Structure 1
Amino acid sequence: MFKRVHFAPINRIYSPGSMPSPTLTDSSLPSSSPGLFTPPPEEDEYIHAVYPRTPYTQAMDLYPEYQEYIAPKPLQIHVLLAFAPNSDPAFDYDLANSPINGDGQYPIQAFNDNATSPPMTSIIILHSLLSSEIEVNSPSGSPLTVGDVLSAIYRHLRLAIHPVEYSNLPDGERREAVDAAYYVRCGAIRNSAERLAEERKGIKRIDLLMGCSRFMGLSGTLDGPGVWELNIA
């Protein structure tokens, strides 16, 4: 089971020198329940938090005493990986397909840029619909690149789930949605032999997302710069 994760509303986004029109912007993390906010946690919860941000922007006005914990962390995520709730992602990427190396808007070299600044060699990505975390580790110990992160997400989602994992899905709409995502994904394969081969592999982790496979970016969390939330649509 996952430990409790506190999500941050602000991503520090950077565009390295190889990217057109370098920028540095702030983006707000969306609430899973629009219009609601979470009261500030007790002070002792912040002993472990190295990337502290208020869960929702409304809390800043309603809980001014909470601002003492809002110490900006000098960590930025690449613009190609960053979640911006009020705009489209930097590039279109369907997680059901293998990672792309360029889409015309950004040069292929951009996917070889460091994923974060300062550079990191490993991160963990979480999503509430996935029963296991996505571990992203640098294969050579060098800084993670944008391509490393996207490839790791893709590989994780291509793994078949264990029968026990499927049996643990709640009965009803969720299980039906997972089944439907599996049939739609396999049905999209035009070659009959390839489609049959894919069907025999069973339900994969991508199907646990219930048909939502558009990559919307990563959000920072209060559990530190090494833990991120996957946003999809």
Structure 2
Amino acid sequence: MTLQPRLVSFDAPSGRSSPLFEYDTTTLAEAATSPPLPSILLICDNLPWRIRVSSSLPNLFVTNYDVLQAIHISLRIPIVHAEWPLCGTPQDQDAILRTFERRIRRLSSEPARADERAKSVRRIDCLMGMTKLVRITPSEDPEVFAMEWGRP
């Protein structure tokens, strides 16, 4: 899967420009695999969970959009107490909690921080700051693909 973002200039009402990325809808609608598959499984060494990606349209193939949407939804899931032991060693768990706190501190208001803190640690925190999806590569199993993450 290769998505090439296009940098778009956006003039905010304040007069400042901020970069936005947009993807061509044709690219998002393309098959994420060759040959096209109705579903795939994404794995990552940093995550104890697998992400099942299915076609958003019946009887069709997994698209690039389906992959991005499934990753986004999966990483936003809160970690429940019973899953905490899956999150590695006590040192790994401490690093995950520090990542969670850094994410909370970036929120703009105290009510937003309190609301997010109440929702608990999320799966994305297990990436410990490596939130840039570098690549997705095939494995020996034709329906399983490995995600590689890096620092933004």
Q: Is the TM value for this pair above 0.5?
A: yes
Partner of 1:171: 90
Letter in 1 for 2:140: L
Matches within 5 A, 1:3-152: 78-80=1-3, 90-91=4-5, 103=21, 106-141=23-58, 142-152=60-70
TM-superposed CA distance for 1:163, in Å, is 0.8
Secondary structure of the corresponding residue to residue 119 of structure 1: coil
RCO higher in structure (CA 8 A, sep ≥6):
1
Q: Which residue does 1:154 correspond to in 2?
A: 72
Q: Given residue 68 of structure 2, which amino acid in structure 1 is its aligned partner?
A: L
> 5+ unaligned residues in a row in structure 1: which ranges?
1-77, 81-89, 93-101
State the shift of 1:117 in Å: 2.4
The answer to which structure has the higher strand fraction is 2
**Structure 2 counterpart of 1:7:** none
After superposition, what is the alpha-carbon deviation per residue over 1:23-42, rounded to whole angstroms, capped at 9, x for unaligned? xxxxxxxxxxxxxxxxxxxx
Q: Which amino acid in structure 1 is aligned with residue 48 of structure 2?
A: S
**Count of matched residue pairs:** 135
Q: Distance in 2 between matches of 1:151 and 1:192?
A: 29
Greater percentage in helix: 2
What's the C-alpha RMSD, in Å, of the aligned pairs? Answer: 1.9
Percent identical pairs in the alignment equals 27
- Runs of 4+ aligned residues of structure 1 deviating over 4 Å after TM superposition are none
Looking at structure 2, the residues matched to 201 and 135 of structure 1 have their Cα atoms a distance apart, in angstroms, of: 23
Q: CA deviation at 1:178?
A: 0.3
Which amino acid in the other structure matches residue 171 of structure 1? P
Residue identity matched to 2:21: D
Q: Distance in 2 between matches of 1:186 and 1:167?
A: 22
- Structure 2, unaligned runs of 5 or more: 7-19
Q: Deviations for 1:83-117, whole angstroms, at most 9, x for unmatched residues?
A: xxxxxxx449xxxxxxxxx825x523321222122
Q: With structure 1 as the length reference, what TM-score do the two structures score?
A: 0.54
Residue 121 of structure 1: how far off its partner (Å): 1.2
